[in-house]
Amino acid sequence: MSQSSPKTPGAVIDRASADRPVPKAGILEIHAYVPGKASAPGIDKPVKLSANENALGSSPKARAAYAEAVDRLQVYPDPRTSIVRTAIAQHYRLEPERLIFGCGSDEIFALLNQTYLEPGDNIVQGEFAFAAFAIGARACQAEVRSAKEPGHRIDVDELLSCVDERTRLVFLANPGNPTGTWIPFSEVRRLHEALPPSVVLVLDGAYAEFCLDPSFDDGLEYARAQENVVVTHTFSKLYGLAGLRIGWAYAPLAITEAVDRIRLPFNTTVPAQLAAVAALDDVEFRDASIELVERWRPWLTQQLGGLGLEVVGPSAANFVLIGFPDRSGKTAGDAEAFLSARGLLLRTLYNYGLPNHLRLTIGLEEQNRAVVEALAEFMRS
């Protein structure tokens, strides 16, 4: 039996007569998601600053709720995620029936892609967009159109220039990952107003709570009266529940009902549901998480800039994107190895087309100081 992969996975292959199962066209051209590094050889407890997790851990209330779930592991979760649905609807003043829950907001992006994309359709996103949008679209044999992001910032006109009659979805993370940059709501509105009504505009607010500028808006209020705007949020970042995998979206009813037809019924778990409700109620933890970012984001930006590094931004998320300018004679790859050997794990961004940048999650005071010290040593070396 032949062991070789098809040379051109996108080409027409007679799958019925192949001597082994052949993935459909395009699957083998997809670059699998590369997660943030979680370990370093020889380092016992590395400091993981590579996945934009919450440096404070998770809410004590959520942890207590999670512990209670231990008596309910034998039961299937509520397929409507009702307790979180009610809590979110009250907290954000949204219609509960318009909410979609997912195994992280990642799953919701995949569901939207599956619901709206036929082969040959396309999605439009920024050139440095979060990788999950494109992976899901490519799995539907759709084209991914990436608009230029001059200065590492979304440009509405560039996005619009990529839209054509086969565009079904436009994905906009605001603030973006891995850039950390954002656009004011007037620009989001301008984008929406210029889109055909048949295009779904997905506003990904994974980092929205960390953007404290008054001209920022996650779009929830705007989405209320629109037929084609979906706003997503996650419990992974601000609420510190990345390990439990739960995210949500506010969508027009017609979109919610369509997505619900293909959504796996038990896509959020019993512990996730219980912990999410408790986390939503923990104002203290939420405030502390925002304060930590608010305090250390400008400090890191200033310190790293002082080392001759180029911090993209200003960042409005819980991380900063660090550029290694050519003139420094230093590379992001070498810096990552240097830091990793000292137990400090940052994110390389080769797969985002940013080979000379590293992304640093804002950590606790001692972690932030350790990164700056280590990078200072690296730049001197």
Ligand X SMILES: Cc1ncc(COP(=O)(O)O)c(C=O)c1O
Binding site for ligand X (CB under 6 A): 52, 104-106, 130, 173, 177, 204, 206, 234, 236, 242, 247
Q: Minimum distance from CB of 87 to ligand X (Å)?
A: 17
Nearer to ligand X, 206 or 311 (CB): 206
C-alpha to C-alpha distances, 15 to 6, 22, 33, 118, 244, nearest whole angstrom: 11, 6, 26, 20, 38
Q: Minimum distance from CB of 234 to ligand X (Å)?
A: 3
Q: Minimum distance from CB of 313 to ligand X (Å)?
A: 16
The gap between the terminal CA atoms of the chain, to the nearest Å, is 53
d(CA 251, CA 228): 8
Nearer to ligand X, 204 or 282 (CB): 204
Q: Minimum distance from CB of 246 to ligand X (Å)?
A: 7
Q: Minimum distance from CB of 317 to ligand X (Å)?
A: 8
Question: Does an H or E element contain 99, and which?
Answer: strand 99-102
Question: Does an H or E element contain 338, and which?
Answer: helix 332-341
- Phi and psi (nearest 5°) for 123? -115, 155
Q: Do residues 169 and 135 make contact, with C-beta atoms less than 8 angstroms apart? A: no
d(CA 180, CA 175): 5
DSSP 37: P
Q: Minimum distance from CB of 204 to ligand X (Å)?
A: 5
d(CA 358, CA 321): 6
Nearer to ligand X, 105 or 303 (CB): 105
Q: Minimum distance from CB of 259 to ligand X (Å)?
A: 16
Instruction: State the Cα torsion 291-293-296-297 to the nearest 10°.
Output: -130
What does DSSP say about strands 354-361 and 122-126: parallel, antiparallel, or unpaired?
A: unpaired
Nearer to ligand X, 142 or 276 (CB): 276
Nearer to ligand X, 238 or 255 (CB): 238
Nearer to ligand X, 151 or 243 (CB): 243
The alpha helices in 70-103, defined as continuous H runs, are 82-92
- Phi and psi (nearest 5°) for 304? -70, -40
Q: Minimum distance from CB of 329 to ligand X (Å)?
A: 31
Nearer to ligand X, 69 or 276 (CB): 276
Q: What is the DSSP string of 165-194?
A: TTEEEEEEESS-TTT-----HHHHHHHHHH
Nearer to ligand X, 345 or 372 (CB): 345
